[in-house]
Amino acid sequence: MKESNPSPFRVYIVPLMVLLTIVLLVPFVLMPQISAIKEKNLEIKKGTERLKALEDKIEALQAIDENSESLKLIEMEKIVPSGKDLAQLVVGVRSLAAVSELKVADMVFEPGKVATGAATVSASKKAKAEEGKAKKEEPKDKITFTLSLEGKLTGFKTFLEKIERAKRLLGISLIELKKEEDEKYYTFDLNVLAPFKGVTRQKDTISSPLPVLTKKHLEIYDFITNFINYTNVSIPLVPKGLKDPFR
Burial call 55-66: b when 16+ CB within 10 Å, e when fewer: eeeeeeeeeeee
Task: Enumerate residues 6+ apart whose C-beta is below 8 A from 100.
Answer: 151, 155, 156, 158, 159, 162
Task: Enumerate residues 6+ apart whose C-beta is below 8 A from 122.
Answer: 106, 107, 108, 109, 128
pLDDT tens digits, one per residue of 40-67: 888 888 888 888 888 888 887 788 888 8
pLDDT tens digits, one per residue of 179-225: 887 788 899 999 998 888 765 666 666 667 777 778 898 888 888 88
Give the pLDDT band (50/70/90) at residue 245: low
Write down the domain spans for the chain. Answer: 11-63, 81-224
pLDDT tens digits, one per residue of 96-136: 999 999 999 999 886 644 443 334 444 444 445 454 444 45
pLDDT at 18: 74
CATH class entry, domain 81-224? alpha beta
Average pLDDT over the chain, rounded to an integer: 76
